[in-house]
Amino acid sequence: MEKMDLYFFRFIIVVVFLFVIAAIREYNNKQAPTSDSETTSGYIDPTIPEIEALKKKLPKMTLALSAMNQLENGASPYFNRFGNGIYDKTVQNQLAIDNGNSTDAVVFLREWPSNVVYRHEYVRRGTKFTMTSIPNGIYYLQYYTGNHWKDDIKKTSKITGGFEYDESFTESSKQTDLITLEQDETSYSTFSVTLYKVSNGNFETHTVSPEALFK
């Protein structure tokens, strides 16, 4: 079933909102008291419970509808290009991703210096996801972020599917940003990444082209 455009859903929400306002206006016209010096025609009390409740629900309704154009956490949307991931079930190395942004993300884990994509995982905004069973090695991260996923958007000559709005393409590939994951006989590696700007953060990202990210 083809996904309906987010703007269409927002239009429906606005229409419903205006309809409710019109109904409340009509109700107030019938119920509000009048005097010889003042008329209440068209009067709407913005503090009545119905309007207050609707104002609180509207942002949540918009977010719920936009979620219809998201993939599930952990999805690998470009498996035809990069495969479903490289795992080593004998190790417990982990990479925890906390997406605190207002955009969804596809996080690419590339082995250094070969640039081979070991994982690419979808992480919804405001959620956390952990990559597990990552083979021992040295890695760097790339991030494709945005909103309103569509499967039929052409991004490069070899990549189809992506975000329709708020796109960005970044990576953390400096020597100081490399991630070493290694399990030995006594311990394994865990690493955490937070996808929003924090003071004194340990990662520095820079913009790359779609071609560089999807290479």
Whether residue 130 is predicted with pLDDT greater than 80 in this model: the reply is yes
- Give the pLDDT confidence score for residue 72 in this predicted structure: 95
Supply 51's token pair. 């309007």
100 or 205, greater pLDDT: 100
pLDDT number for residue 88: 97
Three-state DSSP at 142 gives strand
Predicted confidence band of residue 80 (pLDDT cuts 50, 70, 90): very high
Evaluate whether 150 touches 167 at the Cβ level (below 8 Å).
no
- pLDDT at position 175: 84
Q: What is the mean pLDDT of residues 85-107?
A: 96
pLDDT of residue 55: 54
Residues 31 and 21: their CA atoms lie apart, in Å, by 15
CB-based contact 50:128 (threshold 8 Å): no
For residue 43 the two structure tokens come to: 């009067």
Tens digits of residue pLDDT in 181-202: 999 999 999 999 998 755 444 5
pLDDT over 90, % of the chain = 58
On the question of pLDDT at 61 being above 70, the answer is no
Average pLDDT, the chain: 81
What pLDDT does 204 receive? 72
Cβ(176)–Cβ(205) below 8 Å: no
pLDDT at 144: 97
d(CA 168, CA 149): 13
Report, as an integer, the average pLDDT of 142-168: 94
Domains and CATH numbers, the chain: 6-69 (no CATH), 79-213 (2.60.40)
More confident of the two residues 188 and 56: 188
CB atoms within 10 A of CB 162: 22
